[in-house]
Structure formats: C-alpha cells, structure tokens
Structure 1
C-alpha cells in the first residue's frame, strides 16, 4: 500500500506517482459533488421548507466537517512522515491515536447536536416555519457524528499510507447506495413507507455507517491498525500534536466561512439576479476544486514521505511537479469555463440576464484557474511540512480584507457588478498564491518541522 519513493527518480516517474495518487482523489471528490446535486434534487421535490432545512443543517455541519477534517489532515501528515522515515509502527500508532480522537470528538459533537439542535438552528436565524423540520433532520444526521469523524480520519489514514484508491472506491459505493436509499426512503418503495425529509436523513446516516465499515475492513486488511485493545491506550503527546497541527487547518476553513458571510451580504445587495448568478457560477466552478484538492492530497502524502526520509530536495521536486501538473489540468478546465460557460449556465436557468452574468463570471474565473491551483496545492505542501498556520494567515488576510474590500469597491462602489465580484475573488487568490509561493521559495514553509527528528518523534519546533 505504501509507495516506495527513491531519490533518483526521473521527473516522468515522479509525475506518474503523483497522478497515481491524485486521480483517485479527484474521482472521489467528483462523486461526492454529484451526490450533493442528486440529494438536493430529491429533497427539492418535497418543497422549499425541506430544502431550507437541509441547507441550514449543512451550514452547521460545515463547522463539524472543518474540525473532523483537520484531524484527518494531521493524521495524513504524520503517517506519511513516519512511512517516509521507515517507521511503520509509529505510523500505525498515529493511526490509532487519530481514531481515538475522532471517536471522542464525534461523540462530543453528537451530544451537542442531540441536546442543542433547536438553539443552534435558532442562532442561525431559522424561521419558525422551517424550525421543526430542520430540528428533526439535524438531530438524525448530526447525532451520529462519530461516523462522520471516523470517515474523515480513516480515509486520511489510508491516504497517509499512499492509498487513495480505497477511499475513492468506498466513496463511490457509499454514494451510489446513498442515492438509492434517498429515493426509497424519501418517496417510499413497495412496503417501505415514504418518510420524506427524515428519509433523506436516515439514508445519509446509513450510507456513512456502511462507509465506516468498509474503511475499517481495508485498514485491518492492510495492517494500518490493529484490533488488539492493548494498542489503543491514549498517548497524550500524540493527541496534543494531532490537535496543534490540525487546529490551524480547521481555523482556515472557519475563516473562509466567516469571510463568505461578510461578502455574501454585499452580493445580495447587488440584486437577486446577481446573487443567483454568483451562486450558479460557483456551483459550476466547484468541479475545478476537485482537481486542485486531488493534487493537494497527493502532494501532502508524497512531500510528507520525502520529508520523513530527510530528503528536502526530493520533497521540493514532488511539490513542484504537483503544482505544475495540477495547474496545467486546471488551466485546461479554465478553457472549458471560458468557452462553455454559457452552455453550462443553461442547465441551471433560462433567464437570459442571469445566464449572461454567469457567462461573464466564468470567463473571468477561467483566468483564475492556474492561480487557484497553486493556492490549493501549496496548502497541501505546507501541511506536509506540519505548517498549517501560514495557509490560515493567508486565507484570513485574503478573504477578510482583499476579497471583501474588493467586492465592495469593484462590485458595489464602482458598479462593476458580477464582474467586480469575480475580479475580487481572483485578486484574493493571486495574493495567496504569491504569499505562499514566496515563503515556499525562501524555505519558510519548513519553519515548523525538524527534519532530523522525523524518525524519532512528532514534536514540532
């Protein structure tokens, strides 16, 4: 399961290894996005109240995901590091400790979801007409948060061991089962009654449980962890290292969410059509993120393994070629956005004015794609070096200052509308690419790692 990396590899061999890890992650992201579309489509047949209930629940769950994903990032980084150092037992121990942490956090968030569902939803500004449906859906989906946390962490353990195919396969099977269960439990089938919105919630939970079972099977099969109870004693030092590395990664995602709240209100002020166009353009652009996140995942694992082997130059080669290959593919996707944006927009709306705004947004976004690729993959490289703080800082400045101020100045004050909004998004990404790139070139991305300790412990400087 673990890739054998050699310091004498040619560029073509490195590219082959990168694509071997990146493409399954890209495919996995694609299926997850498709599931989101299908899920929304089914729920929309029930009515606007149900759509609102799911939407507000997902907004809260985004915070949960940020926390769980951050533990997955930390597990991936440390496991890749110890695999690169040839310390397989330590890598296995990291897997054990990350699963323990996932269970603790999953149970904690589950209890919060069960007992505080209604207050949380009221805090989000849910209308009374939606509150009952939203509370029921939220409690069913979020109370078993342990399965959400375990899915994130178990998938990350496999990726840290250079296996991106298994999470992809599990995700595909899980999503297909989810779609079938969605239809059966929402609308009913033969003797199974129609459960409506609650059916959608139960379908989600069942799919996640099956996903955890599938990932557990492969982790045991590949000896990535052991079922022996003696191996599951809490190691406070490792737990602390997982939390301190993961916290800034979670912080970055929360920073992004808060930033979106800041500038979304400005876009709403531009008019309903403009906001709708912005949202639809974002739904189309999301497919480019699949590419970027896939290559970022590959970079985190491969760069982490080279750093674990104390091979900084090898780590840089993998980082450089990951960025280059991801940027090329996202540039090609950018050409599609520029040429076919109007065609894609017609799948979402027939309003001519909205379609023209979507087309303009996507044509601007086409030029952002290579810059966005650099930002996403560089974040993966920084994570491999146990540096999750720099990406968080760059995101905070980029979205809170550059993007928010840009949307107001260009979109609202100067009257550029949707064009001003997407130019501001481009400027934010350009700033982050330059800031992360400069610190990568001058070696400051390695600030929080001690290469010579890679086979001894995980204590950062």
Structure 2
C-alpha cells in the first residue's frame, strides 16, 4: 500500500494535468463544432499535423524526464540542471524551425493531407497560428519534464490548468465575438490556443527559476559540455523519432480516413477526441513509471525500480477499464455533445464502442514504455515503434480501408490491432529485461 500511495501521489496531479489538456481540447472542439462539420474537420486534421510537429521534438522533454529522474535519485542534480539547460537550447531551436515551417508551409501541408480546396482556404490561417504556438509547447513540455523528473507533478498541473483556462476563455470570446471581443471564427480559436500555450510557458518558467534558487540553491549558469550535448541530442532523436513514427502513422491513417468524406472525417475526429480521455491516465501513469523507475535506478535499487513499474501499470489499468466502461455504455450520448448531425454522431458512437476496452492495450504500451524510458532503453523503443507503426499499422489500415472497403470501421480495427500488438511487445520487453544490469545513463558511455 505504501508503494500505491507513492504512485498515486505522483500520478493524480499528472492525470489532472493531462485531463485539463484533454478536456480543454474537447471543449474547444465542441465550441468550434458550432461552426459546422468543415470546422470540426479542419481542427481535427490540424490536431494530427501539430501532434506530428510536437512528436518530432518531444524527445527533448522525454530525455530530460528520465535523465533528471536518474540524477535526482543519485543526488547529482547539478548535472541534471546542466542537462536541462542544454535541452532548452535544443527546444528553442526546434521551436524556431516550426515557426518557419508554419509561415511558409501551412497551405501546402493541408493539400498534402488530401484536404479539399475549401478546407485548405479556411484552415491555413488557423494552422499557421498553431505552428507559431508550438515554440512555447516544446519549451513548456521540456520544463514539465524537469519537474516530473524530480517528483514534482503538481507544478506542471497548475501551469496546465492556467494555460487551458486561458485557452477556453479566448476560444469562447474570440471565436464568436462574446463579451465584447471581435468575432474571428476559426482564426480566433487558433489565437486562443496560442495565448494558452504562452500562459502555461510563462508560469512554468517562473517556477523553474524560482525552484533553482529556493530548492537547489543554484544560480542560472548553464554549462556547455560537448559529450552531454551529444547525449541529449541522440537520446532526444531516438525518443522523438519513436513518437514521430507513431504520429506520422496516425497522419497517414487520418489521410486515409479523409478520403472517405467530410462526415467520416468528422466522426473520426470526434471519436479520437473522446478516446483521448484514455490518454489521460495512460500518459500520466506512463510518466509516473518513468519517474519512479528512473529515480530508483539512480539510487541503485534495480529490483525496486522494476517492481514500481509493474505496480504503476496495475493501478493505471484499473483507471482505463473504469473509463472504458463509461465510454462503452454512453457512446452515443457523448457523441451528441459534439454534433447534432445524425450521420456523424451515429458513426462516431460505433467507433467509440469498438475502442472502449481495446484502449487498454494502448495504455499498457504507455505504462511499460514509460518504465523502459526510466532505464534508458531508448534504442529498443525506437526500433519497436518503427516496426509496429510502419510494418503493421499503415499497411493494415490501407488494406482494411481500400482493399476490403470496410470504411471507418476497418480503419479503427486496424488502429486497435496495431495498439494491441504494440502494447504486448512493450510489456514483454519490460518483464524480460534484466534491471540488475542497468546503470545510470552517462555521456561517457555508448547510449543503449
């Protein structure tokens, strides 16, 4: 019970943090949904595009998370802070790249997705703003990862809640011109998201520098170390490519669904929005596994590290099963919150019911991948993601949608077949890995 309490104290604030982001995304989609199916489709496609942009650079934050957890456990936080400073530099460069891509390439990216011309025309300004906001998203996630690495999941929660509250407020006011604000439509929803990301970044940055002074008594004096820079770069590349391989596969999946028509795409995006509720506990417990495993590896307690990862997965699975039960029995009622178009909400409800319990395997993948990150098993995570996403998911999606002509149902059967196999792979790797042979990740050693 002591371990469960420790796990929940870390996981619950993370669930709240992810919940605020997920619920905000749902509220925004519901508010934007009043603009029609085209607006829902634009937001949905933009979400997938931006998730790919974020995933490409998310490895920076994931690397900080597990390295700082190990440094915290081994009482070498000066090194952990130096690594965080280096990661922020990489994050800033990545953010500038996304701004440039958004400025010049938003329209072309929507066309590449196979979007019809009206979607390209209406969606380009919105997508551009989303790219601009990505700078703050990357840096915020890196700082969130630092706090989680030292076992502080409450500070990221507060920053998330603030940022998402700002986002909801300005989506309500700027999209429809409420409370005396100008009516900007979909562009207003994009500006609201930008302001929300900026608010979260401002709070977490303040907390970070205050933390340095009050908790670690370290002044801002970043140290550039070539070996550490290489470690951060290559670990970030592996973990970022791992996420990017999965998100790119989802991009291709969405492109397949896009060709089924606007209603199919709208139903797909509503269903993904609802199923993202499962991402909350999955991501929260996955992050918790990284923290606990990393810290125990830092303390040279490999047996406890492995045990805590398994205990974290058990508790997380309970959350997912409870959530899946609610989604299964109230699928149509939930879908009707988003839209009153029968063709859309009926299809969406069916897709939600298909995935309500199968999402457990996606969660299992998150739980055990989090534990594997904690020990720095990054090369395996990269290889497994590439093989499963591109060797299984994409080909199976194509076959189910275009060869067998199963439409949206075929696409979602392919999605959850992939997630099931991937989840089993992550769990198997975790159980067979010998933690007694795992040591602290060092810049002087070849990364694994």
Question: What is the TM-score when the length of structure 1 is the normalising length?
Answer: 0.84
Q: Does 1:430 align with 2:420?
A: yes
C-alpha change, 1:89 and 1:235, in structure 2 (3 Å) is same
CA contact (8 A) 2:55 2:247 kept: no
SS in 1 for 2:358: helix
Q: 1:179 to 1:416 in 2, by over 3 A?
A: closer
Alignment of 1:17-416 (within 5 A): 17-46=6-35, 54-125=43-114, 127-131=116-120, 133-143=122-132, 145-188=134-177, 192-223=181-212, 228=219, 231-264=221-254, 277-348=267-338, 358-407=348-397
Whether the 8 Å contact between 2:361 and 2:419 is mirrored in structure 1 is yes
Please state if 1:460 is matched with 2:447.
yes
Secondary structure, aligned partner of 2:55: helix
Q: Tell me: CA distance 1:404–1:335, structure 2 relative to 1, closer, same or farther (3 Å).
A: same
CA drift at 1:314: 0.9
| 148-157 or 45-54, larger mean C-alpha shift | 45-54
Q: 1:225 to 1:60 in 2, by over 3 A?
A: farther
Q: Which runs of 5+ in 1 are unaligned?
A: 1-11
The SS at the match of 1:338 is helix
* Distance change >3 Å, CA 52–CA 454, structure 1 → 2: closer
Kindly indicate whether the alpha-carbon contact (under 8 Å) linking 1:53 and 1:134 is maintained by their aligned counterparts in 2: yes
Residue 236 (structure 1) shift: 2.7
Distance 1:198 1:312 in 2: 51
Q: Deviations over 1:63-116 (max 9, x none)?
A: 321133210000001000111111121112122211222122222322333344
Instruction: Give 1:191 deviation, angstroms.
Output: 5.9
Conserved 8 A contact 1:245-1:387: no
- The CA distance in 1 between the partners of 2:311 and 2:284, in whole Å, is 14
The 3-state SS of whatever aligns with 2:151 is coil
Change (3 A) 1:63 1:312: same
Shift of residue 301, structure 1, vs aligned partner: 0.8
- CA offset digits 1:13-70 (Å, max 9, x no partner): 1111111111111111111122212323343445666556544544432232113321
Task: Point out the structure with max Rg over C-alpha.
Answer: 1
Secondary structure of 1:460's match?
A: coil
213-222 or 344-353, larger mean C-alpha shift:
344-353
- 1:220–1:226 Cα contact (<8 Å) kept: no
Deviations, residues 304-330 of structure 1 (Å, cap 9, x unaligned): 111112211011011110111111221
* Distance of 1:49 and 1:193 partners within structure 2: 22
TM-score (norm 2): 0.86
Alignment size in residue pairs: 446
Q: Give the unaligned 5+ runs of structure 2.
A: none
Residue 346 and residue 319 in structure 1: after superposition, are their counterparts in 2 closer, same or farther (change >3 A)? Answer: same
Query: Greater shift after overlay, 49-58 or 242-251?
Result: 49-58
